[in-house]
């Protein structure tokens, strides 16, 4: 399998990036929800957020690279069997997924740096608090983070359902292309 996409197939890099994000996003959502239930005396009260933030930074870098890769190696065209609605819905949902992912990640950064302290990345480096000190920044960013995460997970579920619909009902190659076949 080639590394770059062609007109009919996704390349190995696009497939790897897709499934990496597909695994990380629900795991981060679950971790985020679980963290909110922890009490101060739980062993994971400090550890959970550090992991969540560190993986969030890695996801942000991965998404930037994934967007860059889409320009370097554009995805294949949609299948000729797609109707107009499917073509428009597919494009719109992909754009919305990227926007929601970045909104979740940026709002997470704004929560973490609201008090002016840098965001610590796995005790390896600190990302400076570039935007901080706005009134209620942590609360507003927290609401945006939560609700955009719920919207994103809902859209991810629709994305998966659409892929399964293409595979089992339409019996087309949509899902197989993202599996490298």
Name 90's Cβ contacts closer than 8 Å, sequence gap at least 6. Answer: 78, 82, 162
At 133 the pLDDT is 86
The two most distant CA atoms of the chain are separated, in Å, by: 57
180 band by pLDDT with thresholds 50, 70 and 90: confident
Which residue ranges make up each domain of the chain?
A: 12-178
Contact call for residues 140 and 103 (beta carbons, < 8 A): no
User: What average pLDDT does the structure give for the chain?
Assistant: 95
Q: Dihedral of CA 175/103/56/12: which sign? A: positive
pLDDT tens by residue, 158-179:
999 999 999 999 999 999 999 9
Confidence category of residue 72, pLDDT binned at 50, 70, 90: very high
- DSSP line for the chain: --SS--SS---HHHHHHHHHHHHHHHHHHHHHHHHTT--TTSTHHHHHHHHHHHHHHHHHHHHHHHHHHHHHSPPPPPPTT--HHHHHHHHHHHHHHHHHHHHHHHHHHHHHTTTSPPEEETTTEEE---S---TTHHHHHHHHHHHHHHHHHHHHHHHHHHHHHHHHTS--SHHHHHTT-
Q: What is the mean pLDDT of residues 66-70?
A: 96
pLDDT digits (tens, 9 = 90+) for 132-162: 988 999 999 999 999 999 999 999 999 999 9
Q: Identify the pLDDT of residue 25.
A: 97
What's the pLDDT at 104?
Answer: 98
Question: Two tokens at 26?
Answer: 């629900």
Q: Model pTM?
A: 0.92
Superfamily of segment(s) 12-178: Transmembrane di-heme cytochromes, Chain C (1.20.950.20)
Mean pLDDT, residues 97-102 taken together? 98
CB-based contact 112:60 (threshold 8 Å): no
Count of CB atoms situated within 10 Å of the CB of 111: 22
Higher pLDDT, 181 or 149: 149
Identify the pLDDT of residue 1.
Answer: 77
Residues 87-108 have a mean pLDDT of 96
Is 123 a residue whose pLDDT tops 90? no
């Amino acid at each position: 399998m080639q590394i770059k996409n062609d007109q009919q197939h996704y390349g190995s890099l696009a497939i790897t990036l897709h499934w990496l994000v597909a695994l990380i996003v629900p795991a981060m959502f679950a971790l985020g929800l679980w963290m909110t239930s922890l009490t101060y005396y739980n062993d994971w009260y400090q550890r959970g957020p550090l992991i969540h933030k560190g993986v969030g930074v890695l996801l942000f870098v991965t998404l930037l690279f994934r967007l860059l890769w889409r320009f370097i190696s554009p995805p294949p065209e949609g299948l000729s069997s797609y109707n107009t609605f499917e073509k428009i819905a597919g494009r719109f949902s992909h754009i919305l997924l990227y926007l929601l992912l970045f909104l979740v990640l940026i709002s997470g950064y704004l929560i973490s740096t609201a008090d002016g302290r840098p965001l610590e990345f796995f005790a390896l480096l600190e990302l400076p608090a570039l935007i901080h000190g706005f009134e209620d920044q942590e609360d507003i960013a927290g609401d945006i983070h939560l609700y955009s995460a719920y919207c994103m997970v809902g859209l991810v579920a629709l994305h998966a359902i659409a892929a399964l619909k293409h595979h089992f009902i339409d019996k087309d190659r949509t899902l197989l292309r993202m599996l490298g076949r």
